[in-house]
Structure 1
Amino acid sequence: MRRMSLALALVVAAGGLGLSAVAAQAAPASPVQGPPFPYQDCLKATKQKGESPSYGKWHCDQLVKKGWVKPPTG
């Protein structure tokens, strides 16, 4: 009897793993925008965080150097 319950538990566990793998493959890609972010969005975010305009510009310039933010246009 113990072997039967162990076998049943293994079948249920294997089925659950199979279903979760299928669900993970079927999930659509998230629409989150990745780097590089626009320079104006960076300035807006630094302002919301309470940074001074000069420090926010410096901060965004550092992120441009790292490739996280697109260089400003114009």
Structure 2
Amino acid sequence: MNFVLAVVVMAGAWAAPAAVAQPVSAPPFAQHATSAKPPFSYEDCLKAAKKHGESARYGKWHCDQLVKKGWVRRPKR
């Protein structure tokens, strides 16, 4: 039991300096996801939904969900 405790303590001691050395800035993919303007238009989303075999009703719901997530721009009315 003492051996297991010693291994756990040593593993923690080795991991601590590595955790401190991690960069603080956000990864590049996170910076792209928070851009001011979503990359896809609503019309393109509906076309892609139809191409993938979704019904019109389900495609609209799906695109509305992607608007909420910020992946698709709001439709022009």
Percent identity among equivalent residues?
73
Shift of 1:44: 0.1
CA distance in 1, matches of 2:70, 2:39: 6
Moved over 2 A (4+): none
Segments of 5+ residues of structure 2 without an aligned counterpart are 1-37
Indicate the structure (1 or 2) with the bigger Cα radius of gyration: 1
**What letter is aligned with 2:73?**
K
CA distance in 2, matches of 1:68, 1:43: 13
TM-score after normalising by structure 2: 0.51
CA distance in 1, matches of 2:73, 2:39: 5
CA distance in 2, matches of 1:72, 1:53: 15
Name the residue aligned to 2:49: 46
CA distance in 2, matches of 1:36, 1:66: 12
